Chains A and B, each alone.
Chain A
Amino acid sequence: MFPFIPQMAQLGIGVTDLAAALLFLYGLHRMSSPVTAPSGIFVAGVGMAVAILASLLYAFGVSEAAKPNLMVNLGLVVVALVLGGGAAWWSGRKVAMTAMPQMVAIYNGMGGGAAAAIAAVELFGGKAEGITALIVTLAGALIGAVSLSGSLIAWAKLDSVINKPLRFKGQQVFNGLVLLATLTVGVYLVAATQDKSLLVLAMPASIYLFFACALALGVFMTLPIGGADMPVVISIFNAFTGLAVGLEGFVLQNPALMIAGMVVGAAGMLLTLLMAKAMNRSVANVVFTNFGEVAKHKQTSIKGSLKPIQPGDAGIAMRYASSVIIVPGYGLAVAQGQGKLFEFVKLLQAGGVSVKFAVHPVAGRMPGQMDVLLAEAGVPYDMIFQLEDINDQFAATDVALIIGANDVVNPAARTDKTSPIFGMPILNADKAKKVFVIKRGEGKGYAGIVNALFYGENCDMVYGDAQAVLIKMIEAVRGLGLPAVA
């Protein structure tokens, strides 16, 4: 009756997907400045919304075999959209900013899982025609499944469900064997589809086996990796999911998926390299070596002693300084001290002290997390400086205040060739005229090495929980009763 409807539906999908791809690129482009970024995500959101709405037009062109199920399938689509979208939206609105890395890990795992599920439908239905399509489907399935299970393990680690990295002897060999097994099943699947005489294990069983191996690989890959390496891991899985989505986009002949997936894949790759560079380690080193254990080596003996100071005295000293640079680390977030910190900073600023924040690229559990936590506490972004922009200013600064950071200010990275962190770019806090360090105790940093900065002539230690210490500093400065400078 209406012979043109399928063609019109195809045209509609084609045009909206083209628009969506453009909106994604333009939206991400607008994220290059904090001023335009909020509109950027909105632009990308519009692209997503129209693409999802238009995809319902696929209902007009379903295959003959699926036609009897069309109404049920449409119902399932709506239910899945509402359930999945609703639950994720609700959790995303509620989640605390400190818990953002694990939330992003979950969303990322979901994307990888979706890509793997699409591949599974194609495989079980025997829909991937031709050897190229089949190989690409399998590659997407493998990467997507690894991203799904790996992201879930990353979530469990970040959320402290799993507290210790799981390591055993021969782990890398074992992981290599799991990868080999996955690839073998994959090759078998390709061969068996091409030549039915090769069939030794039934197709559905082989497909299940393939996914089981791929999921196991993601789990075993992520288990040995420690908490502070998570910025790299999250970036890798983000790249993986993007790649999987791009590959499945090719299988489904959907260029919007191909483009969006590959853009994200490249973005994840870039962030992964940036994070690894900030740790002065290769990506392979992060994924394949057990960092904490490698770091056991002879310590160079350090001269000097740790000099404790009362929080109030340190607070007052900063009030009388003319410039202060604050180096926040993950310990600040653990103590939930960001709000109190900014209160203290405002007090200093009211007294005419110039205050800046210096953020190391790996401060936090995902790239840039410290910046978000500071922004949440109300710190304006023009007070937050990145390593390369502020490192030269420490020498001309009265006080460097280090809160819950350790390895990223360890001068051994510059001087001690035997140190495991040698060569890592660090914040030159030791060059400030005076250094205060707020720290819970005398413990070592993640790398397990002594920090010479703490023993320096110009350094005083303020022991205690960051939030409690900052409250005492605020009280002490208020107690001075000095008038605010206009």
Chain B
Amino acid sequence: MDFQISISGFVALYVFMLAGFAGWVIIGRVPAILHTPLMSGSNFVHGIVVVGGIFALLNASTLQEQVIGFFAVLLGAGNAAGGYAVTDRMLAMFKASDHPAAHAKSGRVKSIHSKKH
């Protein structure tokens, strides 16, 4: 059996299109108050590039490839670890009011999108 993945031509475009659409819809639902952790969180997600770096480095056959591959893994690992560390820290800071009364009183006004004045 062969489990080799092969994505070419239009299949790749379909993958890109669906992923792009999913990203747009999912991110569009994130409230503005979370935009910084969202950005660092999506930053963390593209840290998956480290997997590509590992593949490249393991397949390196010359010294040059080894050096560049090493940097790919180094930078990718930094992207992933750093992105996770800061996102986790920020999200832990968002707390609701202690007293439930205040919570109900300041219940968010769901207004129609940005009225022009």
Query: Contact residues of A with B, CB < 8 Å?
Result: 7, 10-11, 14, 17, 20, 24-25, 27-29, 31-35, 37-38, 40-42, 44-45, 48, 51-52, 55-56, 58-59, 62-63, 65-66, 69-70, 72-74, 76-77, 79-81, 83-89, 91-93, 95, 97, 100, 103-104, 106-108, 110-111, 113-115, 117-118, 120-122, 124-125, 132, 234-235, 238, 241-242, 245-246, 248-250, 252-271, 274, 354, 356, 359, 361, 364, 366-369, 371-372, 375-376, 378, 380-393, 414, 425, 428
Contact = CB atoms under 8 A, between A and B. Distances in A.
Contacts of A354: 105
B94 A37 contact: yes
A25 B48 CA distance: 13
B8 to A, nearest CB: 8
Given A10-B4, A69-B61, A89-B85, A104 B40 contact: yes
Contacts of B64: 124
Contacts of A65: 61
| Interface residue SS majority, chain B | helix
Nearest to A91: B82
A368 B5 contact: no
Nearest to A38: B91
Given A51-B48, A89-B81, A97-B90, A368 B34 contact: yes
Q: Is the interface of A mostly helix, strand, loop or mixed?
A: helix
A368 B44 contact: no
Contact of B52 (A87, A257, A269): A257
Size category, B interface: 35 or more
Contacts of A265: 20, 23
Contact of A117 (B48, B61, B68, B87): B68
Most chain A CB within 10 A, of B2, B48, B75, is at B48
A239 to B, nearest CB: 9
Nearest to B47: A111
A36 B70 CA distance: 36
A34 B92 CA distance: 9
Nearest to B114: A388
Nearest to B2: A7
A100 B40 contact: yes
A118 B49 contact: yes
A367 B116 CA distance: 21
Given A117-B75, A253-B7, A383 B39 contact: no
A76 B56 CA distance: 12
Contact of A264 (B2, B23, B35): B23
A93 B82 CA distance: 8
Contacts of B26: 25, 28-29, 32, 263, 267
A210 B62 CA distance: 21
Interface string B29-57: 11111111111111111111111111111
Contact of B15 (A81, A104, A259, A271): A259
Given A28-B42, A380-B95, A76 B48 contact: no
B108 A389 contact: yes
A103 B12 CA distance: 33
Contacts of A85: 77-78, 80-81
Contacts of B52: 114-115, 118, 245, 248-249, 252, 254, 257
21 contacts: A44-B41, A44-B44, A56-B54, A84-B76, A92-B86, A106-B82, A107-B86, A113-B72, A114-B52, A114-B72, A121-B56, A238-B42, A241-B43, A245-B49, A261-B48, A266-B20, A267-B24, A375-B95, A380-B102, A382-B108, A390-B109
Contacts of B32: 274, 359, 361, 367-368, 371, 386
A110 B75 contact: yes
Contacts of B84: 41, 45, 48, 89, 92
A163 to B, nearest CB: 24
Contacts of B105: 354
Contact of A110 (B35, B48, B57, B78): B78
Contacts of B22: 25, 263, 266
Given A103-B86, A258-B19, A391-B115, A84 B77 contact: yes
A380 B96 contact: yes
Nearest to A275: B35
Contacts of A121: 56-57, 60, 65, 68-69, 72
A52 B51 contact: yes
Nearest to B84: A45
A130 to B, nearest CB: 9
A41 B87 CA distance: 7
Nearest to B17: A262
Interface in B100-116: 102-103, 105-106, 108-116
Contact of A375 (B86, B87, B94): B94
A269 B24 CA distance: 8
B102 A382 contact: yes
Contact of B27 (A40, A122, A258, A271): A271
Contacts of B108: 382, 385, 389
Given A84-B76, A387-B114, 5 more contacts: A7-B3, A40-B41, A271-B35, A371-B32, A388-B112
B6 to A, nearest CB: 6
